[in-house]
Amino acid sequence: MRFIDFFAGIGGARRGMELAGHTCVGFCEFDRFAVASYTSMHLITEEQRAYLATLPLQKRQKEILKDEYRNGEWYANDIRDVRGRDLPVAECWLFGAPCQDFSIAGSRAGLDGDRSSLVREIFRLVGEVREEDRPEWLIYENVKGMLSSNRGLDFAFILAELDERGYDAEWRIFNSKDYGVPQNRERVYLVGHSRNKGRCKVFPFEVSDREDSLQVKQIGNRYSEHRHNHIPLSFEDCAGIAPTLDSMEGGGRNPHIAQFVDLTTKNAELTDNARCLKARYDAGVTNRGGDNSGVAIFVQDQSKGVQTDE
């Protein structure tokens, strides 16, 4: 299935779709740094990569934004400037429109805000595309605050827009902790399916049985003397999990992994799951300690040739 990646970021949704066997035919992203990363990770050839590596960093960052490095894939900078006639034909559109105005961490401006209101541009484009070329599937991802924004009226508007354009919709909240990642990260996935192209039920998905999740057991606490605020760390019994470097033991590699720490309280507390990362659109991750956390990920153990958790 062909798909277009709107509000593409650095291509996380694209990666998932490609792993499922689908083909991206174009993307739209406003932030030039995200476009540079997206292009580097998904579009350039190995020959282009080798050439870019010979350039100084600042020149490389500008060079990769040239059209030639996208190797013929359709691209748009600003969705507000795109017209339906410009789009390549695709069976699916992905769009994770900006979440700041829906998030409970933001001002909750909802569809009246400057960012989350950009989802309206998707509905405009669907209306501009010839009916025979409209996507069969629309997949929309956002924070769960979208459901309650403006007392639920914003979500009602989104459903009404989909209905007016001939799409039935299903939605569900998913939490990353149910799929092998030790982080509470709840997101709404809404799937629209064109009535003109048959009916297909998508949800519910079965959640993971968590056999692939990290199973950790607290075995003790201690303070790091290298941190000015003396954050307590918890080290875990992690059989089958790749060890981390432990500076407290002179750099030795012990089978330990630090549990997540909630830094929002005066007396920092241990948590079983990582806190979500929060970011300001124009300044990256905030400098509030409680907004940051580590997440254990799957890595390749080169010594054994098998995948382990770290």
Per-residue pLDDT of the chain (310 residues; tens, 9 = 90+): 999 999 999 999 999 999 999 999 999 999 999 999 999 999 999 999 999 999 999 999 999 999 999 999 999 999 999 999 999 999 999 998 888 888 877 678 888 878 788 999 999 999 999 999 999 999 999 988 899 888 889 899 999 999 999 999 999 998 888 877 777 788 999 999 998 887 667 766 655 554 544 443 333 333 334 333 333 333 344 444 333 333 333 334 443 344 455 545 555 555 655 555 444 434 444 444 444 444 333 344 445 444 444 4
Number of domains into which the chain is organized: 2
Q: Is residue 36 part of a domain?
A: no
Q: If we measure between CA atoms, which residue out of 264, 214, 259 comes closest to residue 235? A: 259
176 and 119 in a common domain: yes
Around 252, how many Cα atoms within 13 Å sit in the side-chain half-sphere? 6
Integer-rounded Cα radius of gyration of the chain = 22
**160 and 284: one domain?**
no
The residue whose two tokens read 């720490």 is 261
Please indicate, yes or no, whether residues 129 and 231 belong to a single structural domain of this protein: no
Active-site residue list = 99
- Do 166 and 121 lie in one domain? The reply is yes
Residue 65 lies in a domain: no
Does residue 161 fall inside a structural domain? yes
8 Å CB contact between 137 and 197: no
Residues 186 and 228 in one domain: no
| CA angle at 283 for the pair 274 and 101, rounded to the nearest 5° | 75
- Residue 94, classed as helix, strand or coil, is strand
The answer to whether 190 touches 203, Cβ cutoff 8 Å, is: no
Amino acid at 43: L
The answer to whether residues 7 and 124 belong to one domain is yes
Same domain, 238 and 108: no
Report CA-CA distances (Å) from 260 to 162, 268, 270: 40, 10, 6
Residues 113 and 175 in one domain: yes
Range of the domain at 262: 218-309
Do 23 and 167 sit in the same domain of this protein?
yes
Identify whether the C-beta of residue 268 lies closer than 8 Å to the C-beta of residue 277.
no
Nearest to 176 by CA among 189, 191, 162: 189
Domain containing 122 — which CATH number?
Answer: 3.40.50.150
Q: Return the SS3 of 43.
A: coil
Domain assignment present for residue 63? The answer is no
For the beta sheet containing 92-95, the strands, ordered from the edge strand earlier in sequence to the opposite edge, are 74-76, 23-28, 2-6, 92-95, 137-143, 186-194, 167-175
| Residue 247 burial class via C-beta count within 10 angstroms: exposed 0-12, middle 13-18, buried 19 and up | exposed
Can you tell me whether residue 16 is helix, strand or coil? helix
